[in-house]
Amino acid sequence: MLGTDLQTVLAGQDVTALGRSDLDVTDLDAVRSAVAGHDVVINAAAYTKVDDAESDEDAAFAVNATGAKNLAIAAREAGAKLIQVSTDYVFDGAATSPYAETAPRAPISAYGRTKAAGEELATAEHPEGTYIVRTAWLYGQHGPNFAATMLRLAGSHPTVSVVVDQLGQPTWTADLARQIVLLAESDAPAGAYHGTNSGQGSWFDFTQAIFSEAGLDPERVLPTDSTAFVRPAPRPSYSVLGHDAWAAAGLPEMRDWREALADAVASGAVAKPAA
């Protein structure tokens, strides 16, 4: 989702877009060769199977941590910026107010540990040129995601049950792509930035908003809690991220998630399945 939207935002610029079949980020020599000659490297690659990572942490670490380290080494050698896309899962979810960019990492899952390690290793290798962009709750046009799943279920189920006890910031990948490019083209200092749409809501709130924007009855969305969906990896119950670093760098934070969702639906990036 994010990689495709980045290509759209960067249309007209000299861009090399490499997928998994084009580049193994765990291969340092291959990474060095791919990065050479570039000014900015955006790492949107990740092992994102959160539950699988609990039993296959080594594989997740190879991509999320070693891969990030390799890209930082290559970016430093090429004199390039590295924008490392990271996640709310580097935090424990125990907060009650938005996580600052400087908040200590305290992951509670294997996936979170590997992404936290990626942040640490990349920053250590290229401290003056690594930009950590933490994001969360992504949805968009070009891949499987929560919004698409809910609309698919709406076509086959009279009601859907969604948790109310996890809070976060639904984030449209098109907005995130624009924010990443804004950061890449700015003179902002290296460090951590939180790339999420503003505001907050539960998965229940998000689903009701999806239904409403799609012209469906939001009362078909029923509240439940996380005990109804027990999964191998623990999820942070609070994933609201603060945005102070943008203002400090003289850049605007991302807009409210409800405004973004309305535009995503209106543009067709989130659409009801055909009847």
- 77 domain-assigned: yes
- Predicted structure pTM score: 0.97
pLDDT digits (tens, 9 = 90+) for 123-166: 999 999 999 999 999 999 998 899 999 999 999 999 999 999 99
The verdict on residue 226 lying in a domain is no
β-bridge pairing 130-135 and 160-163? unpaired
And the tokens for 65? Answer: 């941590």
Query: How many domains would you assign to the chain?
Result: 1
Q: What's the pLDDT tens digit per position in 194-218?
A: 999 999 999 999 999 999 999 999 9
- Which pair of structure tokens corresponds to residue 93? 């979810």
Q: Quick one: residue 6, left, alpha or beta (phi over 0 = left, psi -120 to 50 = alpha)?
A: alpha
> If pLDDT is split at 50, 70 and 90, which confidence band does 271 have?
confident
CATH number at residue 125: 3.40.50.720
* Assigned domain for 275 exists: no
So what's the pLDDT on residue 275? 55
| Residue 15 predicted with pLDDT over 70 | yes
pLDDT at 272 over 80: no
* Residue 190, in any domain of the structure: yes
Q: Domain for residue 174, yes or no?
A: yes
Residue 91 to residue 99: CA distance in whole angstroms:
8
For residue 68, the enclosing domain spans: 2-144+169-199+240-254
Q: Dump pLDDT digits (tens) for 39-96.
A: 999 999 999 999 999 999 999 999 999 999 999 999 999 999 999 999 999 999 999 9
Residue partners of 112: CB distance under 8 A and separation at least 6: 87, 89, 90, 91, 236
42 falls within a domain: yes
**47 belongs to the catalytic site:** no
Cβ pair 230, 183 in contact under 8 A = no
Specify if 47 maps to a domain. yes
Residue 273 pLDDT greater than 70, yes or no: no
Q: Of these residues, 47, 89, 99, 111, which one is catalytic?
A: 111
Q: 5 near 176, Cβ under 8 Å?
A: yes
Helix spans in 18-141 (H): 28-35, 50-53, 57-61, 67-78, 110-125
175 within domain boundaries:
yes
